[in-house]
A and B are shown apart, each in its own frame.
Chain A
Amino acid sequence: MAADGTLLQGEVSDNPGALSDSIVIQKMLQGFLNSLIDEQVRDLRKEALENSIQDKDVR
């Protein structure tokens, strides 16, 4: 058994349901979308950088 149960049980909700506050939902969705886009842009930049390095290697 774990040493500290309270620290291992995670975030517990006795009555879970979809978020009811539409403003919170809207903001969370926007946060999700913004961070997805940021990650996608970062991946594309990384890929472009990697390709340019490989081009240099080949040359």
Chain B
Amino acid sequence: MTQKGSSSQSALKAVPPIRCVVVQLARLGDNLQSLMALRAAKQLYPQLEITLVVRDSFAAAAHRVPWVHQIHELPTTTLLEGAVSDPTKKDEVLPSLARWLSGLVSQPWDIALNWTFSESSSWLTGLLPARVKLGYSRRKDLTLSASDGWTHYVQAVVQGEIPQNIHLTDILTTQLLTALQIHVGDPEADAGNQSITRGFFDFSQASFNFKQTDLQGRPWRDPARRWIAFQIGAGHSTKTLSPQEWAKLIEIFRKNRPELNLLLLGGAGDLTRQNEIRELIVAQGVPQQGIAYLAGDCEFQDWASVIERSHWLISGDTSAIHVASIVGTRILNLSLGNVRYMETGPYGNGHIVMRPDQRTDLTPEMIFHTWEYFSSEFRAQKSLTLGIHLETEGCPPESIQRMQILRSRIRDADAGGGVVYEAVLNETLSFNDWIAQVTGYIARAWYCGWTPAIGHELSRGHIHPDLIRSVRSLEEPLHVLIKICEESKRTAITLQRKVGALRSQKVMGLEAKQSLQQQADKLMELEQLIERLVHAQPALAMFFRFAKVSMHNLSGDDIAELGKQTATVYNRLGQGAQTFKEWVAHLLSLSKPMVVENRSRVIPVEFRNSTKSKTPNPDHEVTT
């Protein structure tokens, strides 16, 4: 375990530290999103003493964050080396794993936070002694447990691949801050002014050798030159451009903006891709001055400091966009492949997301001209819209029509907070995106207790006949769903009452047992009804998944308590369905024709012989 120093702030204020262990065994991108959420909590609760449990191969980011107290690295590869190839060696690995774990179980934690949402992490969290546990864990009977609402949301909706529009960073932040508010109390009045707001990463150890030759004859430290970084790789080849497309994009940048320095970034696994891009660029006779090929050449701190120094990062769905979000570099995110930008896209104000409906529409030319528009936004906005700009630059109109281009914005606190992506091209809303808005809204209503007005981010410009048709088809199923939830709630209350009337819940007469069984069977039938309803109308899938997850996580010791909790679950689901119905009504109301107030005024006629120049009075109609 690496200890990085004590919390001097908490010592000064004589506030006891809140010992918090955070399990994050996923990849670098998830680590970075967790760190962003932890920073928000640390700003409000400086007494948080954070210990991170991370895989050794993805620990680099955490080591550069000065306010993380300890890092406990899981040496996955070396620990599992033998057992992966030979399952009979598992028993030999077990003692090593127990030794690794011993440092985490010696003293109870105040909060154990599992932000990995995976099977393996649930076992680890089950082993940790803690006053409060959030995220997946294991009960003593070894079953999976997800005890809090936001974890239910991740399990039922996010992992169920149901469209939703709350960014993962916002989910994690809200989950932790709410738990802190419940268990610790409100933050200090002056919280949020701590020094950690100034810098996120400590780059003092960055050792990257900015050789002059790397930029092909240009000095690195030239403040007059802007840097554009290109993250050329991704976790999957479908999530990034092909080498040919990257080469073309670099060529276009070099031709149109020769003054810029262009930096190609990537991991060691991207070297082949980088070499191919370089060969293609050289073959095209593109001048190499000001182009640096850095893939595979950088440690984390060097890579992140290059991104920080850059004015823009152009990247697919990679951890680079999270680094850029943290260090405040503007991002042009190419949202390609099976990616949900609303959950893992760039975080902050003014980032751009390009999401093509058809992959072939996202050409290097389209990317360059979109970047060009936003890089000189103030100038461009005065004269023309993005659509006209792209068309003027020769992008095919049908590709423009099929392209989604969005800009990120952090909502005001009184509008619910969090990041939102607003369309700047083709404002019409897809059915899935509308569902995402409704789902996110219902979650906020359930877990935040306060929501802005329904559909406050929707306007008539978003709607179209296909959307109206799809939304209208939900009216009847929602009506049925609300009825099922009401009936389920009634049945659960009846079950609870019947059990409450018994002398013993364990010993009872045959008649009483049959009566309870009837209620239980009825609940099962009602759950099956929801399943059938969702099968016919998949847009309502969140309700079935929530019912399943919530039922699995009932925690009562007896039948009466389970009945009571079941009633609470169906009450919540019914409220959610009612909110969904209100969203449907709101959208349909937007589609209705409205009486438009006639604001046109009759322009007064100026008499030829008038000697005075009169100011027209728009309130007076002129009769001649």
What residues of chain A have their CB less than 8 Å away from a CB belonging to chain B? Answer: 1-5, 7-14, 16-19, 21, 24-25, 27-41, 44, 50, 53-54, 57-58
Contact = CB atoms under 8 A, between A and B. Distances in A.
B94 A33 contact: yes
Contacts of B132: 9-13
Given A9-B182, A10-B179, A29 B101 contact: yes
A44 B572 CA distance: 42
A23 to B, nearest CB: 10
B134 A10 contact: yes
A21 B76 CA distance: 26
A28 B447 contact: no
A53 B126 CA distance: 38
15 contacts: A2-B181, A3-B445, A7-B152, A8-B182, A10-B133, A16-B109, A16-B131, A18-B105, A31-B123, A31-B142, A32-B127, A33-B83, A35-B118, A38-B119, A57-B237
B94 A8 contact: no
B487 interface: no
Contact of B448 (A2, A37, A53): A2
Contact of B237 (A29, A40, A53): A53
Given A12-B132, A53-B237, A57-B242, A33 B149 contact: no
B94 A1 contact: no
B63 interface: no
Contacts of A24: 140, 142
Contacts of B119: 35, 38-39
Given A29-B98, A40-B76, 12 more contacts: A9-B148, A10-B132, A17-B129, A21-B140, A28-B127, A29-B94, A29-B101, A33-B83, A36-B80, A39-B120, A50-B236, A57-B242
A18 B129 contact: yes
A8 B447 contact: yes
Contacts of B272: 54, 58
Nearest to B80: A40
B120 A32 contact: yes
B154 to A, nearest CB: 13
Contact of B84 (A17, A28, A44): A44
Interface in B148-163: 148-150, 152
A54 B334 CA distance: 20
A58 B111 CA distance: 49
Nearest to B242: A57
Contacts of B127: 18-19, 25, 28-29, 32
Contacts of A13: 130-133
* In the complex, the 8 A-B pairs of residues with the closest C-beta atoms, listed nearest first: A3-B449, A32-B123, A35-B120, A11-B147, A7-B149, A10-B134, A11-B133, A16-B108
A5 B182 CA distance: 7
Interface in B111-125: 111, 118-120, 123-124
A10 B94 contact: no
B97 A33 contact: yes
